[in-house]
Amino acid sequence: MANLRLCYLQISNSLCTEPWYAGRGSRFYHGSWKTVSNRKKVSQPIERPVGWSGSCIVQCCSTSSTTSAAEATEQVFLEDRSSIEEKEEQFEYLASEFGWKVRRLAENRDEMREVAQIQAEAFHTPVALFDDLFFEFFKAEVLSGLLYKLKNSPPDRYACLVAEPAAERKLVGIVDVTALRDKDVLQHLEGADEYLYISGIAVSKSFRRRKIGSVLLKACDVLSHLWGFECLALRAYEDDMGARKLYTNAGYKVVSSDPQWVTWIGRKRRVIMIKRSNMLD
């Protein structure tokens, strides 16, 4: 499986700069209104409205009206989140194949620690001295990033999916799914303004080569359908033929690779692989 450590850490950073919007209609996120229509172009942030009615902004002067507008804004957000969660709850498991099931991470400390452990084991680069200590630091960093994304991401902009055996609750595989608008990827997705980015794929050492990665990718397809995204993308190391075969079998195609000069600074070249979901209505 490809070592996607750099991709995973970039997701944490990108969440600080990515626009906060989701679904259809107007939403209020982090002090700005954003408008989207069928996940197309997003308007620039405007001044915070002092009133709101339906899908229109209404100017009001009274304190009571401002309070009502804030309550209405909160209600819209809660209704949107509830609608998304209800849709996902229809599928307790997003995918179920080969004896494995994939669901969304339950937001409790025990499962979050399990996720951090699995991803840290997959992506940590051993060091000559004090490796155990550095591993614990890295695991703490992974857990911190996970907590940040779960807390600050709208429900249909980020998800951590986990795989477990069909007969028990034991996490054996992880994948992160994030809505992004990176121009390096969008230039290969004609007509798309955003896409789902797949990263942080990790499987417990004792469960590798048992089709868990395939089931995780299938769950990403299902999630793209539920969230209304047509395109998915990921990055893999150019020389990791095992991972590239996995992604190719799942329908991803290589569209570009890092320039040759990245090897001059000690980095491994990566390829961008994309697919268009075949699950949309």
Question: How large is the angle between the packed helices 212-227 and 63-89, nearest 10 degrees?
Answer: 140
Catalytic-role residue among 158, 197, 237, 247? 247
| CA dihedral angle for residue 275, residue 7, residue 205, residue 169, rounded to 10 degrees | -70
Burial class (CB in 10 A: 0-12, 13-18, 19+), 100: buried
Cβ neighbours for 133, distance < 8 A, ≥ 6 positions apart: none
Kindly state the helix (H) or strand (E) to which residue 65 belongs, with its residue range.
helix 63-89
Distance from C-alpha of 235 to C-alpha of 7, rounded to nearest angstrom: 7
d(CA 219, CA 144): 24
Q: Name the token pair of 68.
A: 């009502």
Give catalytic status of residue 247 as yes or no: yes
Identity of the residue numbered 55: S
Active-site residues, by number, are: 247
